[in-house]
């Protein structure tokens, strides 16, 4: 990516589970072009951070020329990576936008199960926070309302829309499960 | 759902034990997912009756696969892409949003993009803001410049859209487009400027960033942008951060330093330190700390806000502050001392990155008296941090030890303690390296350092470190007061270690035997035990050293051969010797001693490492002068004062390549011509250079040493010796004519023809400049040397140097003319500096020391003025230096 060097840039956003497995990741920097490089990076990030306590406050660390800010929520780990000379507080704000918007969208039930069931919302939230490495929006409620396309459907309030969505989803998954158990 | 929900504050590890139970419960919608099946499923996109929910799920599955690192083949991707485009028929907003997302990820070739552009363009004109913004982002990420031209006017309009999401989308997309389509984006400047006034913070941020990116190459435009923005109200904290960065750039490019004239916009930075957003405060503090030549007064407010951050409850803030202060401590340790109390409390910070940074900062700012206390605190902390942090701490300790050499005992003890603890190779190596450096730099620390290392190799698992230490023991051990005490440690290695270490130990022992005569009989006994070693190398070494120590095979000196040949040249000569069939014995004398690239650096290193003990003659002229010193004809010339770098006298690709080296002696100038024949079909014999002295009247030709035959592809030497009055700095232009006898080689037989003919070739002229009589002789402490010389023979004058590109160029030119050594790194001019002072030291012929202080200034028209002040042993010498500049 070739942008003005003064513009703050996010190198990657990661959402990993409590064992370091990837749930949703987005890489914007060329240094992790291959899946292997990404996996190695995720492994080292996880091993360096998993034993720290980043529940109350977001934590920060630095290694091999990058700065990583991270926050653990439930059984999930949110990471935002920036370059060594990035303003740490800007990265921190991106991280906040990232996890708080997801928390809003999932109504506080931030755990692996719900995140996987609503992976579309998570992916959209990431897409609304950072666009190709550039910070698009950091306000959690703005991100959440954009993900929910509030305003697109003749102004259905966000909460109601979400309820509808999760309900229909639950119905769909229930159907799926029944189908699977019948096939066994 | 509630049953599996975890207490958010529970530690991660607690979860492990009921993992088994969880596994049955844990249900993932992506359990057992397979690419083939999902692609099958994706066929429902083609269904005439679209089920939005189900389609959304399938898209999510596709994205999940991509996210897990799965790749689609080109065919698969375009199939997915085509069927996804069908989903445009659905009016469902959430499904549409997913379609936007998946199109960006399954980006097909440009020929396929065309089928979706019309739909996207329709969305771009939709009444719904979110449709417009998403369509813009998708279009801009898949479009080529031709299509971009078609939609340009919609995009331009979108820049000033009253909806934030639309304006941001197009501004960010434009930032990505800048690389390939900057001319199109450039046409939107007016709209972008309008967007800067937007009431939405993010739009303002994106517009500011884009406008700067458009003008980044134009310094004037940037400084205009900065002054208009600093006056106006920038509401967005992110945009304010950008502005701080631009201001920092403008400051860096301006000449003003905080001292006399105020820096432009410094007051703006200061006001940002009081901004309500922490992000901006920190950005401003960072900018102030990074200013070139920042003064303590300018630093103070920034350090104060950073100090407040140090006690923040947020780790990110503490980290940011301590990291910045750590950098400040490198250059302005005193400015940071106020924070020492806060720093000390950070040593026990949960976050180990913060703790490490705090410690290394304290080590930099700490006073001599606090060293012991700090070491105690660190000692308790070292055991529970990772190796990489330990390395940082060790490096900081090393720097501290070099700063306070008197404290070496405590610091050396600390290093030896941590050396005994467990640790990986990199960590151990950092410690050993530190001890090696301390031994080299602090003579008092040598004995204790060596004994610590001896203890370490008794129990060292790393072969590399053991061999390195054994080598050092062999070099330094024999010169200590009690060499005998090291023998036991080294001999233990021969008994206990692997072959590599044993061989190194044998070599080390032999050095003791060679250098300490009274130990020799005992060493011989020990070495003879290694004769039955089961490793070849160890046996060979023992045998060789035994013979040498016993007076055979070159004798005792042979144990400790001092190679005065550059290894690279030796290798090259040996190679060419082998290639040419290896006839006759190989002679070391044929190895060129001049190192072609970058010999200067190595000499400098050598000098700093061995200090003043090394004779400057050897250091400065070792390589170039060696050829001359090996010639018996020139023994009577006295000590060599200086040899110049070789200068080429022929064009590239002529039949012969000639370079000249000027050797200056007290009464003579010896010209050494390095000659190489470049044409295989000819033989050049009886080669000499005649020097026409018409334009150098003070010289007189004394002798010519011709070259019997100019070698092909190698270097031969011919010399011309010129006499000049003793001690004088005779100058002038020498016109050189190469004379030789050419004999052709018959290409069919390869034999040289009997008859040859005389020929001559005019070489380029050679100037003898004053710089040839000045030898670069750096002094370790310029100020002290300057004071020592006193004002008696001080001479100062001003000169105009005319127009120059920048100061660096002017500095290089003057330093080149004088041929003196820049001291204290003053030969590097900071970028965009308007004034600069260079300190030079040198010795003139006749061994007169001269120190020069050059003050340069450059004005707006790029014309450079220089003030030259010389101090030397006598007024004549000072006058001579000025004369050089006047003549130049």
What region, left, alpha or beta, does residue B51 occupy, with left being phi > 0 and alpha being psi -120 to 50 degrees?
Answer: beta
My answer on whether B651 and B751 are in the same domain is: yes
Strands A76-83, B682-692: pairing kind: unpaired
**Domain extent for A77:** 10-147
My answer on whether B650 and B661 are in the same domain is: yes
- Collect all residues with Cβ–Cβ distance below 8 Å to B198 and sequence separation of at least 6: B164, B167, B204, B207
User: Chain A within 8 Å of B11 (Cβ-Cβ)?
Assistant: yes
Q: Which of B65, B130, B174 to mutate to test the interface with A (most CBs of A within 10 A)?
A: B130
* pLDDT for B364: 80
* pLDDT for B555: 59
In a domain, A86, yes or no: yes
For residue B802, with 0-12 CB atoms within 10 Å meaning exposed, 13-18 middle and 19 or more buried, which class applies?
exposed
Q: What percent of chain B has pLDDT over 90?
A: 1
Picking from B175, B212, B350, the nearest residue to A53 by CB comes out as B350
In a domain, B179, yes or no: no
My answer on whether B783 and B713 are in the same domain is: no
Structure tokens at B676: 């190489």
Task: Taking residues B688-698, report their average pLDDT.
Answer: 81
Structure tokens at B75: 């065919």
A chain contacts of residue B5, beta-carbon cutoff 8 Å:
74, 109, 111
User: Chain A within 8 Å of B311 (Cβ-Cβ)?
Assistant: no
Q: What percent of chain B has pLDDT over 70?
A: 87
CB contact under 8 A, A62 and B353: yes
- Phi, psi (5° rounding) for residue B68? -85, 5
Higher pLDDT: A74 or B590? It is A74
pLDDT at B392 over 50: yes
* pLDDT for A107: 87
A chain contacts of residue B173, beta-carbon cutoff 8 Å:
131
Residue B504 CA from chain centroid, whole number = 32
Where helices occur in B106-144 by DSSP H, the ranges are 110-124, 129-142
In a domain, B299, yes or no: no
pLDDT at A94 over 90: yes
* pLDDT for B12: 32
Beta bridge partners of B675: B658, B716
pLDDT in tens, B518-566: 888 888 888 888 888 888 888 888 888 888 777 765 556 666 655 566 7
pLDDT at B185 over 90: no
- Kindly report the CATH number assigned to the domain that includes residue B761: 2.60.40.1480
Q: For residues A100 and A136, is the Cβ–Cβ distance under 8 A?
A: no
B197 CB-side CA count, 13 A: 6
CB contact under 8 A, B350 and A119: no
Q: Which of A33, A42, A56, A60 to mutate to test the interface with B (most CBs of B within 10 A)?
A: A60
Structure tokens at B659: 């370079």
Picking from A6, A127, A137, the nearest residue to B212 by CB comes out as A6
- Collect all residues with Cβ–Cβ distance below 8 Å to B320 and sequence separation of at least 6: A60, A87, A88, A89, B282, B309
My answer on whether B682 and B799 are in the same domain is: no
In a domain, B817, yes or no: yes
Distances (CA, A) of B16 to B11, B19, B21: 10, 5, 10
- Collect all residues with Cβ–Cβ distance below 8 Å to B702 and sequence separation of at least 6: B668, B721, B722, B723
Residue of B nearest to A96 (CA): B316
- Sign, CA dihedral B286-B292-B296-B297, equals negative
* pLDDT for A171: 61
Structure tokens at B885: 């500049």
pLDDT in tens, B415-451: 888 888 877 888 888 888 888 888 888 778 888 888 8
Structure tokens at B566: 């550059």
Picking from A74, A120, A138, the nearest residue to B98 by CB comes out as A120
pLDDT at B20 over 50: no
Picking from B8, B30, B246, the nearest residue to A74 by CB comes out as B8
Start-to-end CA distance of chain A, whole Å, equals 49
Distances (CA, A) of B408 to B109, B248, B367, B390, B502: 66, 40, 14, 19, 31
User: Chain A within 8 Å of B563 (Cβ-Cβ)?
Assistant: no
User: Chain A within 8 Å of B319 (Cβ-Cβ)?
Assistant: yes
Structure tokens at B256: 């003003």
- Nearest chain A Cα distance for residue B810, angstroms: 31
In a domain, A165, yes or no: no
Task: Taking residues B831-838, report their average pLDDT.
Answer: 78
- Kindly report the CATH number assigned to the domain that includes residue B514: 1.25.10
**Domain extent for B500:** 486-557
A chain contacts of residue B30, beta-carbon cutoff 8 Å:
116, 119
My answer on whether B822 and B743 are in the same domain is: no
Query: Cα(B226)–Cα(B443) distance, rounded to whole angstroms?
Result: 54
In a domain, A68, yes or no: yes
- Nearest chain B Cα distance for residue A15, angstroms: 11
Q: Which of A12-21, A174-183, B12-21, B522-531 has the lowest mean pLDDT?
A: B12-21
Q: Which of A44, A88, A127 to mutate to test the interface with B (most CBs of B within 10 A)?
A: A88
B chain contacts of residue A120, beta-carbon cutoff 8 Å:
56-57, 59-60, 63, 98
* pLDDT for B627: 67
- Collect all residues with Cβ–Cβ distance below 8 Å to A114 and sequence separation of at least 6: A106, B1
My answer on whether B756 and B694 are in the same domain is: yes
CB contact under 8 A, B131 and A152: yes
Residues 148-177 of A with CB under 8 A from B: 148-149, 151-153, 165, 168-169, 172-173, 177
- Phi, psi (5° rounding) for residue B103? -60, -40
Structure tokens at A160: 């109601």
User: Chain A within 8 Å of B202 (Cβ-Cβ)?
Assistant: yes
My answer on whether B778 and B825 are in the same domain is: yes
pLDDT at B615 over 70: no
The pLDDT-based confidence of A71 (bands split at 50, 70, 90) is very high
A chain contacts of residue B27, beta-carbon cutoff 8 Å:
113, 177
In a domain, A80, yes or no: yes
* pLDDT for A21: 87
Q: For residues A66 and A83, is the Cβ–Cβ distance under 8 A?
A: yes
The pLDDT-based confidence of A92 (bands split at 50, 70, 90) is very high
For residue B831, with 0-12 CB atoms within 10 Å meaning exposed, 13-18 middle and 19 or more buried, which class applies?
exposed
In a domain, A158, yes or no: no
* pLDDT for B320: 92
* pLDDT for B318: 92
Structure tokens at A125: 């939230």
Residues 33-72 of A with CB under 8 A from B: 35, 38-39, 48, 50, 52-53, 55-63, 69, 72
In a domain, B318, yes or no: no
In a domain, A175, yes or no: no
Residues 614-643 of B with CB under 8 A from A: none
pLDDT at B612 over 60: no
The pLDDT-based confidence of B316 (bands split at 50, 70, 90) is very high
In a domain, A85, yes or no: yes
Query: Cα(B101)–Cα(B95) distance, rounded to whole angstroms?
Result: 10
- Nearest chain B Cα distance for residue A103, angstroms: 13
B665-684 as b/e, with b when 16 or more CB fall inside 10 Å?
beebbbbbbbbbbeeeebbb
Residue B682 CA from chain centroid, whole number = 47
Query: Which residue from B519, B479, B486 is spatially nearest to B505, judged by alpha carbons?
Result: B486
Query: Cα(B698)–Cα(B726) distance, rounded to whole angstroms?
Result: 11
Tell me how many domains chain A contains. 1
Q: How many CB pairs under 8 A join A and B?
A: 192
* pLDDT for A70: 93
CB contact under 8 A, B176 and A75: no
Query: Cα(B178)–Cα(B192) distance, rounded to whole angstroms?
Result: 14
Picking from B15, B53, B129, the nearest residue to A18 by CB comes out as B15
The pLDDT-based confidence of B11 (bands split at 50, 70, 90) is very low
Start-to-end CA distance of chain B, whole Å, equals 88
Query: Which residue from B398, B410, B407, B482 is spatially nearest to B440, judged by alpha carbons?
Result: B398
Residue A42, H or E segment: helix A35-49
Task: Taking residues B592-620, report their average pLDDT.
Answer: 41
Query: Cα(B256)–Cα(B245) distance, rounded to whole angstroms?
Result: 18
- Kindly report the CATH number assigned to the domain that includes residue A33: 3.30.450.60
Residues 87-126 of A with CB under 8 A from B: 87-90, 92-93, 109, 111-114, 116-117, 119-120, 123-124
User: Chain A within 8 Å of B556 (Cβ-Cβ)?
Assistant: no
- Nearest chain A Cα distance for residue B261, angstroms: 27
Query: Cα(B544)–Cα(B552) distance, rounded to whole angstroms?
Result: 9
User: Chain A within 8 Å of B476 (Cβ-Cβ)?
Assistant: no
Strands B707-710, B766-768: pairing kind: unpaired
For residue B471, with 0-12 CB atoms within 10 Å meaning exposed, 13-18 middle and 19 or more buried, which class applies?
middle
Task: Taking residues B486-491, report their average pLDDT.
Answer: 86
Q: For residues B434 and B397, is the Cβ–Cβ distance under 8 A?
A: yes
- Phi, psi (5° rounding) for residue A68? -120, 120
Q: Can you tell me which residue has the tokens 């920038």?
A: B234
Task: Taking residues B496-525, report their average pLDDT.
Answer: 84
Query: Cα(B787)–Cα(B809) distance, rounded to whole angstroms?
Result: 29
In a domain, B872, yes or no: yes
For residue B267, with 0-12 CB atoms within 10 Å meaning exposed, 13-18 middle and 19 or more buried, which class applies?
exposed
Q: Say whether A131 sits in a helix, a strand or coil.
A: strand
User: Chain B within 8 Å of A17 (Cβ-Cβ)?
Assistant: no
Q: Of B744, B768, B792, which residue is a domain's last? A: B768
pLDDT at B60 over 50: yes
User: Chain A within 8 Å of B217 (Cβ-Cβ)?
Assistant: no
In a domain, B692, yes or no: yes
* pLDDT for A95: 94
Structure tokens at B786: 């300057």
- Kindly report the CATH number assigned to the domain that includes residue B880: 3.30.310.10
Query: Which residue from B176, B94, B102, B175 is spatially nearest to B130, judged by alpha carbons?
Result: B94
User: Chain A within 8 Å of B173 (Cβ-Cβ)?
Assistant: yes
- Nearest chain A Cα distance for residue B345, angstroms: 18
CB contact under 8 A, A18 and B130: no
Q: Of B519, B537, B557, which residue is a domain's last? A: B557
pLDDT in tens, B205-245: 998 888 888 888 787 888 888 888 888 778 888 988 988 88
My answer on whether B793 and B866 are in the same domain is: yes
pLDDT at B598 over 50: no
In a domain, B734, yes or no: yes
Longest CA–CA span in chain A (Å) reads 59
Tell me how many domains chain B contains. 3
A chain contacts of residue B320, beta-carbon cutoff 8 Å:
60, 87-89
Query: Which residue from B720, B655, B653 is spatially nearest to B691, judged by alpha carbons?
Result: B720
* pLDDT for B710: 78
* pLDDT for B148: 82
Residue of A nearest to B176 (CA): A3
Task: Taking residues B319-324, report their average pLDDT.
Answer: 91
DSSP B581: T
In a domain, B368, yes or no: no
Residue A95 CA from chain centroid, whole number = 8
Q: For residues B488 and B455, is the Cβ–Cβ distance under 8 A?
A: no
My answer on whether B776 and B745 are in the same domain is: no
Query: Cα(A6)–Cα(B4) distance, rounded to whole angstroms?
Result: 45
User: Chain A within 8 Å of B316 (Cβ-Cβ)?
Assistant: yes
Distances (CA, A) of B128 to A149, A150, B90, B840: 10, 10, 15, 71
DSSP B872: E
In a domain, A155, yes or no: no
- Phi, psi (5° rounding) for residue B246? -65, -40
My answer on whether B748 and B775 are in the same domain is: no
- Phi, psi (5° rounding) for residue B550? -80, 5
CB contact under 8 A, A124 and B282: no
The answer to ipTM > 0.85 is no
Q: Of B743, B768, B793, which residue is a domain's last? A: B768
Residue B758, H or E segment: strand B757-762
CB contact under 8 A, B315 and A62: no
């Amino acid at each position: 990516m070739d942008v003005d060097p003064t513009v703050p840039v996010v190198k990657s956003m990661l959402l990993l589970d409590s064992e370091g497995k990837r749930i949703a990741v987005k890489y914007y920097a060329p240094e992790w072009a291959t899946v292997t490089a990404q996996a190695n990076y995720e492994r080292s990030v996880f091993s360096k951070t998993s034993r720290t306590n980043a529940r109350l406050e977001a934590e920060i660390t630095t290694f091999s020329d990058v700065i990583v800010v991270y926050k653990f929520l439930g059984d999930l780990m949110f990471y935002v990576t920036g370059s060594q000379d990035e303003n740490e507080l800007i990265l921190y704000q991106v991280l906040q936008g990232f996890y708080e918007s997801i928390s809003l969208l999932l109504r506080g039930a931030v755990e692996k199960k719900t995140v996987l069931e609503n992976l579309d919302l998570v992916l959209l939230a990431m897409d609304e926070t950072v666009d190709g490495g550039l910070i698009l929006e950091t306000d959690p409620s703005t991100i959440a309302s954009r993900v929910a396309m509030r305003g697109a459907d003749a102004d259905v309030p966000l909460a109601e829309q979400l309820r509808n969505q999760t309900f229909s989803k639950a119905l769909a998954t229930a159907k799926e499960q029944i189908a699977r158990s019948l096939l066994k | 759902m509630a049953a599996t929900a975890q207490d958010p504050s529970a530690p991660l590890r607690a979860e492990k034990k009921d993992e088994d139970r969880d596994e049955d419960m844990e249900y993932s919608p992506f359990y057992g997912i397979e690419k083939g099946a999902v692609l099958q499923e994706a066929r429902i996109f083609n269904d005439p009756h679209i089920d939005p929910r189900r389609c959304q799920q399938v898209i999510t599955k596709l994205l999940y696969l991509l996210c897990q690192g799965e790749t689609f083949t080109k065919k698969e991707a375009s199939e997915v892409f085509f069927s996804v485009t069908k989903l445009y028929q659905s009016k469902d907003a959430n499904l549409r949003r997913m379609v936007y997302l998946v199109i960006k990820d399954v980006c097909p070739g440009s020929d396929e993009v065309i089928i979706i552009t019309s739909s996207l363009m329709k969305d771009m004109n939709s009444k719904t803001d979110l449709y417009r913004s998403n369509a813009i982002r998708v279009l801009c990420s898949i479009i080529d410049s031709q299509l971009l031209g078609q939609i340009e006017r919609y995009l331009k309009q979108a820049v000033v859209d009253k909806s934030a999401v639309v304006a941001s989308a197009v501004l960010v997309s434009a930032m990505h487009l800048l690389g390939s389509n900057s001319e199109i984006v450039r046409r939107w400047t007016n709209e972008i400027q309008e967007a800067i006034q937007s009431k939405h913070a993010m739009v303002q941020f994106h517009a500011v960033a884009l406008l700067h990116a458009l003008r980044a190459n134009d310094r004037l435009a940037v400084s205009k942008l900065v002054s208009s923005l600093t006056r106006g109200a920038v509401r967005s904290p992110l945009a304010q951060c950008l502005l701080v960065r631009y201001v920092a750039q403008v400051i860096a490019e301006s000449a003003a330093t905080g001292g006399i004239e105020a820096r432009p916009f410094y007051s703006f930075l200061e006001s940002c330190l009081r901004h309500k957003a922490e992000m901006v405060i920190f950005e401003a503090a960072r900018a102030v700390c990074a200013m070139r030549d920042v003064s303590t007064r300018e630093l103070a407010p920034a350090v104060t806000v950073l100090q407040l951050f140090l006690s923040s409850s947020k780790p990110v803030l503490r980290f940011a502050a301590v990291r910045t202060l750590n950098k400040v401590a490198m250059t302005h340790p005193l400015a940071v001392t106020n924070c020492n109390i806060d720093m000390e409390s950070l040593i026990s910070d949960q976050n180990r990155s913060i703790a490490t940074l705090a410690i290394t900062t304290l080590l930099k700012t700490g006073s001599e008296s606090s060293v012991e206390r700090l070491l105690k605190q660190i000692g308790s902390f070292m055991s529970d941090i990772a190796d990489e942090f330990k390395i940082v701490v060790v490096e900081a300790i090393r720097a501290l030890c070099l700063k306070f050499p008197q404290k070496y005992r405590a610091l050396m003890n600390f290093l030896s303690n941590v050396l005994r603890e467990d640790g990986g190779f990199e960590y151990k190596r950092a410690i050993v390296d530190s001890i090696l450096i301390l031994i080299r730099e602090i003579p008092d620390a040598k004995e204790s350092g060596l004994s610590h290392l001896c203890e370490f190799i008794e129990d060292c698992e790393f072969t590399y470190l053991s061999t390195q230490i054994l080598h050092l023991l062999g070099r330094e051990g024999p010169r200590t007061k009690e060499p005998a005490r090291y023998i036991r440690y080294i001999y233990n290695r021969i008994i206990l270690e692997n072959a590599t270490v044993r061989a190194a130990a044998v070599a080390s022992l032999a050095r003791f035997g060679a250098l300490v005569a009274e130990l020799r009989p005992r060493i011989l006994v020990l070495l003879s035990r290694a004769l039955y070693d089961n490793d070849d190398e160890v046996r060979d070494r023992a045998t060789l050293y035994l013979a040498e120590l016993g007076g055979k095979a070159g004798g005792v000196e042979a144990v400790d051969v001092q190679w005065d040949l550059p290894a690279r040249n030796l290798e090259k000569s040996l190679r060419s010797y082998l290639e040419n069939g290896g006839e006759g014995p190989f002679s070391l004398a044929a190895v060129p001693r001049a190192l072609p690239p970058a010999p200067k650096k190595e000499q400098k290193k050598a000098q700093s490492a061995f200090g003043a003990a090394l004779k400057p003659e050897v250091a400065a002229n070792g390589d170039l002068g060696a050829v001359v010193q090996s010639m018996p004809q020139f023994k009577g010339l006295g000590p060599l004062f200086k040899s110049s770098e070789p200068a080429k006298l022929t064009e590239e690709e002529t039949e012969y390549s000639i370079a000249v080296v000027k050797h200056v002696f007290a009464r003579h100038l010896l010209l050494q011509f390095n000659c190489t024949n470049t044409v295989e079909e000819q033989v050049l014999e009886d080669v000499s250079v005649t020097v026409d002295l018409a334009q150098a009247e003070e010289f007189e030709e004394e002798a010519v040493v011709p070259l019997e035959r100019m070698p092909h592809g190698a270097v031969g030497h011919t010399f011309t010796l010129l006499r000049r009055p003793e001690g004088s700095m005779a100058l002038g232009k020498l016109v050189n004519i190469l004379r030789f006898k050419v004999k052709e080689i018959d290409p069919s037989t390869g034999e040289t023809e009997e008859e040859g003919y005389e020929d001559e070739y005019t070489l380029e002229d050679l100037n003898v400049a004053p710089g040839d009589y000045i030898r670069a002789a750096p002094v370790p402490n310029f100020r002290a040397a300057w004071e020592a010389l006193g004002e008696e023979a001080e001479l100062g004058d001003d000169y105009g140097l005319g127009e120059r590109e920048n100061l660096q160029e002017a500095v290089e030119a003057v330093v080149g003319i004088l041929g003196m050594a820049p001291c204290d790194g003053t030969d590097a001019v900071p970028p965009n500096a308007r004034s600069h002072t260079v300190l030079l030291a040198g010795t003139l012929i006749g061994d007169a020391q001269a120190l020069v202080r050059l003050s340069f200034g450059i004005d707006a028209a790029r014309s450079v003025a220089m003030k030259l002040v010389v101090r030397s042993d006598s007024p004549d010498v000072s006058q001579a230096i000025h004369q050089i500049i006047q003549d130049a």
